[in-house]
Structure 1
Amino acid sequence: MNQLRANRVAEQMKKELGDIISRRIKDPRVGFVTITDVEVTGDLQQAKIYISVLGDDKKRQDTLIGLAKAKGFIRSEIGKRIRLRKTPELSFDLDDAIERGNRIEDLLRQINNQDDEL
């Protein structure tokens, strides 16, 4: 039962975070951010937010720094939008699944091209 509620809270947070980050955060370090996933612990005390950032490594790191600075504001906005007894503690991590997927796709394409040449 706890995990079901945690999943529902995570989905709601994912939707709200996308809106908050795109419309309310004015920090120039925060680039084009996509919320790829939110994991909330069963006790709803902590939330790990996975993001994807358009740009190079420096832009990704700057975005993480900007989001870390705005963590208190983001948390208070989440608290206003989602009715919870206690708003989860937020942590932001880069999601490299898309990059890994693209790398795998490139490798498979290379293997396929080598097979065609033989």
Structure 2
Amino acid sequence: MPSRDFKRTDRIGAELRRELGLLVHAAVRDHGLPSTSVCDVEITRDLDWATVWVTTMLPEQGLPAVKALNELSHEIRHALAHSGMRMRRVPELKFKYDDSVDKGERIESLLRQQARDLAPPGGDKHD
């Protein structure tokens, strides 16, 4: 019998990510928050808590956006309970900032700078 690699919490997390993406977009629009996107959702095995990882267009807007979303988490959870998801109990939501995109851009910038520093003078001309 094949193993079940895709856990129930993964399936629920994927569905929550889709629904929360719409709800966070609406919260951004309605409350004038910085542009925010849902990156991932991690759920505890007992389905009591969901950590919602978000990112913003500008890194300096990340913490204010997360703070505002955590203040709105009860309202978002209520909207999630009344959405199309059929869950007995909607998990408590905890929003956190995902800085992996920022770190990736920083690493890419450093690599580009290093490549420029190591490039021979005169550019790419070959004689």
What TM bracket, shorter-length normalisation?
Answer: 0.7 to 0.9
2:104 counterpart residue number: 101
Alignment of 1:1-118 (within 5 A): 4-24=7-27, 26-28=30-32, 30-57=33-60, 59-81=61-83, 82-117=85-120
Higher helix proportion (structure 1 or 2): 1
The one-letter amino acid paired with 1:63 is: A
Unaligned runs of 5+ in 2: 122-127
Q: Cα 1:85–1:106, aligned 2, differ >3 Å: closer, same or farther?
A: same
Aligned Cα root-mean-square deviation (Å) = 1.8
Unaligned runs of 5+ in 1: none
Larger radius of gyration: 2
The count of aligned residue pairs is 115
Regions of 4+ moved over 3 Å: none
Comparing both chains, which one has the higher relative contact order based on Cα–Cα distances under 8 Å and sequence gaps of 6 or more? 1
Task: Answer yes or no: is the 8 Å Cα contact 2:38–2:54 preserved in 1.
Answer: yes
The one-letter amino acid paired with 2:63 is: Q
Q: Provide the identity percentage.
A: 27
